[in-house]
Amino acid sequence: MNLFTVLPMTVVMVAGPQLITAIFLTTGRDVRRASLAYLLGAAIGVTAGTTVAYLIFRLVHTAGGSGHKAGIDRAIDWFVLALLLVLLVLIFVRRRRSRPPAWMGKLQDASTGLAFRLGLLLLLAMPSDVLTMVSVSASLARHDRPWWHLLPFILLTLFWLALPLLLVLALGRRAAGVLPRIRDWTNSHSWLVNEFVILFFLALVGSDLAK
């Protein structure tokens, strides 16, 4: 397990309300400020969530000493496996949500404060994101990877969330024709992509358990 194998899990972090919210914010009156506030909140959320989880599992990984290290590592692997299975079921159950929540329609007039809070809460309070951050952080800690190996995961997560703003800056008015299609596709098909990514990560964890 290394920093490259966990990068696909960034898709699970954003493919849902997180990315759809970022798209809605680009249709508002103050696109740049609202989007940047949203990204700042998301950056704090994903950094705090992964760091806390990493530190906890780093302590668990080293607590038993060399004599119990193998047993602790297997226990962490089983824990991550259980989290991924829960995440797999959670995303499957929620797949039939065909429309974004009603509150997203009000994001065109969102203040920077509201955008910031949404970025923070959608990364820290969404069960799917919490499970993903814990799974990734626990796996890296269990394999003795340094904390900075989380940085590519954090940065790629933020890149996906920044993509709507980048498209607006690059395409201008033409982005108005592209972003709704991305939003609709994400809303209807993201669950399937998430399931494939989680199954890939499940296979990696399973290979560790099989050793």
pLDDT tens, position by position, 50-108: 999 999 999 988 876 665 677 888 888 899 999 999 999 988 887 766 566 666 666 77
The pLDDT, as a whole number, for residue 107 is 74
CA distances from 89 to 94, 128, 210 (A): 9, 10, 23
Band of pLDDT at residue 149, cut at 50, 70 and 90: very high
CB < 8 Å & 24+ apart, contacts of 155-158:
156/7, 156/10, 157/10, 157/13, 157/14, 157/42, 157/46, 158/39, 158/42, 158/43, 158/46
Between CA 45 and CA 39 the distance in angstroms is: 10
136, 83 contact by CB (below 8 A): no
Q: What is the pTM of this model?
A: 0.88
**pLDDT higher at 100 or 211:** 211
Q: What is the pLDDT of residues 186-206, one digit of tens each?
A: 877 788 888 989 998 889 888
DSSP one-letter string for 116-160: HHHHHHHHHT-HHHHHHHHHHHHHHHHTT--GGGHHHHHHHHHHH
